Amino acid sequence: MNYCISHPTKILKGSIELTASKSESNRALIIQALCEDDFEIKNLAAAEDTRVLKEILTAVKLNTSYDVQTYDVGAAGTTMRFLTAYLSTKKGVNCILTGSERMQNRPIKILVDALRDLGADIEYVEKDGYPPLRIKGKELEGGEVLIDGGVSSQYISALLLVSTQFKNGLIIKFKGEVTSRPYINMTLRMMEQFLIPTEWTVSSIKVKKRIEEIIDESYYVEGDWSSASYWYAIAALTKDADIKIKGLNRQDLSLQGDAAIVNIFSKLGVHSEYSPQVYHLTKGGEVVKEFNYDFSDCPDIAQTVAVVVAALGIRSTFTGLHTLRIKETDRTLALKNELAKVGVEVEIVSDDMIKIHPNPLVLQSSPIATYEDHRMAMSFAPLALLEDSIIIEHPEVVKKSYPDFWKDLKKVGFVIEEI
């Protein structure tokens, strides 16, 4: 199935109730599962990744059998990593943790090695360093572990979230500079909201051993800034925009590193005005002639911004992209392939850098491939504002993080036809 997307006027006005953050939701679910006294999570994300995590956590809680259980995370990378750590600490668990074909080719060795150093019983079922995993949960001693600071923050967050279960607490020492700091900060700030004390020095993070009570109140999940990025892209490419995005905290109060889009898109012709829980987007401000940005702290919005700068004809250099090659797809290569279809050259300089050499966009009838990656579908959809229409392959991939994306586009005048 493909979608043909168009917009008759190229002028947008409307309000969107933004989907909740799956990053916050998934962290809250793990903390909730570890609490002796349950608490309510309000505004939990409707994302497929979050639904899968919640279902597996419920199944683990209800399972009283000693038989080996199999839990399938599908394509949910965060869920795979968080569950690897969580299940390792659950005494009595005996399971196989697996996922989609792509998931079975996404590395997890760094996390497994760290958990093994802390006492975990994990084996590879097939290929060394990759899922599926055989996990036998038990009480872990914990202690000190050394990790390369440049690895995916999800490995580090997975360890931090279960650190209160270790008898001797946890000290993570870093080799080299730590990247993706906002994602780690999100984890630490959420833990602190749940009264779990943490200490982050220059080269290490320390979490003391488990405390008796974590929380007995509810937790409200903020709207998702990654999803908001597509609305900023839409505002940047319209003839005129008057869009209100509801559900976001003020940028400087948000736990999410992707709130950086406010500053990024101010350079790309989008003006943001904040009132409580609402960002009002309009066209305004000068558009830069050259754009250079380090996405180390917000790699999930790199695709969105890449498509926008290409569409606006802005020569650009993106760095901090080293984690994109092990996501749902090799995202740098996917960008190169699909932007080539509209006449834009993407030069992959290294695992960490791309250069975008813009040319006038030539939108042809070739559909945009999505590579089983939700962000490819949503990043390229705004190009429909520059031509009569654009075709997106496998549009259903958006369910991974933003299930109502296409419905929300229709609310502001997009026409979406199934072909």
List active site positions. 300
Amino acid occupying residue 137? G
**Of 174, 211, 172, which Cα lies nearest the Cα of 194?**
211
- Among 372, 319, 313, smallest CA distance to 345 is for 313
DSSP secondary structure code for residue 223 in this structure: B
Q: Which residue has the tokens 């394509």?
A: 75
Cα separation, 249 vs 354, whole angstroms: 31
Q: Evaluate whether 61 touches 33 at the Cβ level (below 8 Å).
A: yes
User: In the numeric block, which tokens belong to residue 171?
Assistant: 């000290």
- What single letter denotes the amino acid at residue 332? T
d(CA 243, CA 280): 6
Tell me the C-alpha distance between 203 and 387, whole Å.
50
| Torsion of Cα atoms, 185 then 191 then 196 then 198, to 10° | -10
Q: Between the CA of residue 209 and those of 164, 166, 184, 280, 409, what are the distances in Å?
A: 5, 6, 19, 44, 47
Closest to 96 in 3D by CA, of 147, 131, 59, 141: 131
Of 78, 24, 34, nearest in space to 53 by CA: 78
Q: Are 209 and 168 in contact (CB under 8 A)?
A: yes
Residue 298: Cβ-neighbour burial (10 angstroms; 0-12, 13-18, 19+): buried
Contact 228, 248 (CB under 8 A): yes
Q: What is the DSSP letter of 196?
A: -
Tell the residue number behind the tokens 């929380």, with chain if given. 215
State both tokens at 221: 């999940």
Length of the chain (residues): 419
Which pair of structure tokens corresponds to residue 264? 């990024």
How many helices (H) and strands (E) the chain has is answered by 12, 21
